[in-house]
């Protein structure tokens, strides 16, 4: 899949800005509402955000490090890799939202969470916005990043950004659904 780099980055920036606005709305809710669940085995709003924070702890430094050592120049188009496109498309929220298993170290169920979870998420999204802006100056196809499930597998930077942002979208939708069902 080939995408115009500028259009791709603007879409990812827009999605990230929307996710920040949603998280800012959550900060106005009570801690009880934020920690409530539809059922004992599901996640709360804060657990959805903490799950994203745990992934952000891996991906944001990884992306930053790879971009800092890059000497590439931007290209007009980004050509997605087979595996990267597969992972990105798997993260795109579709109706109905299909449940996916998460890795134990990224599962926040039962965590003691408070408003700082929201602040941390917003800060991570602001860092992501900075990285997306910086990405306009590099080649999204040439830079490769490790992924959280295996440092042996590398994705093109453009695919990594897509996976991270679409994953964020997925769990913001999940958090909004929790609020509607409660």
pLDDT of residue 103 exceeding 70 = no
Is 0.85 topped by the overall pTM? Answer: yes
pLDDT at 105: 66
Question: Could you tell me where the DSSP H helices lie in 27-156?
Answer: 31-35, 45-68, 82-91, 115-134
pLDDT of residue 99 exceeding 90 = no
Q: Which of 6-23 are b and which e, b meaning 16 or more Cβ less than 10 Å from the residue's Cβ?
A: eebbeebbebbeebbebb
Provide the pLDDT confidence category of residue 97 given band limits of 50, 70 and 90. Answer: low
User: Tell me: the pLDDT tens digits for 26-65?
Assistant: 999 999 999 999 888 899 999 999 999 999 999 999 999 9
Domains in the chain, ordered, with CATH?
2-181 (1.20.120.450)
Provide the pLDDT confidence category of residue 96 given band limits of 50, 70 and 90. Answer: low
| Percent share of the chain, pLDDT over 90 | 81
Q: Are 133 and 6 in contact (CB under 8 A)?
A: no
């Amino acid at each position: 899949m080939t995408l115009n780099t500028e259009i791709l980055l603007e879409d990812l920036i827009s999605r990230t800005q929307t996710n920040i606005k949603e998280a800012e709305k959550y900060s106005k809710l009570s801690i009880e509402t934020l920690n409530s669940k539809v059922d004992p085995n599901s996640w709360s709003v804060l657990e959805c955000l903490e799950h994203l924070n745990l992934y952000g702890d891996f991906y944001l430094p990884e992306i930053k490090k790879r971009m800092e050592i890059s000497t590439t120049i931007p290209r007009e188009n980004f050509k997605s890799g087979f595996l990267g496109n597969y992972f990105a498309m798997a993260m795109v929220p579709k109706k109905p939202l299909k449940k996916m298993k998460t890795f134990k170290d990224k599962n926040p169920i039962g965590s003691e969470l408070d408003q700082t979870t929201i602040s941390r998420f917003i800060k991570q999204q602001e860092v992501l916005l900075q990285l997306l802006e910086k990405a306009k100056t590099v080649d999204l196809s040439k830079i490769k990043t490790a992924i959280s499930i295996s440092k042996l597998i590398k994705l093109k930077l453009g695919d990594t950004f897509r996976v991270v942002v679409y994953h964020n979208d997925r769990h913001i939708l999940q958090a909004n659904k929790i609020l509607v069902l409660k």
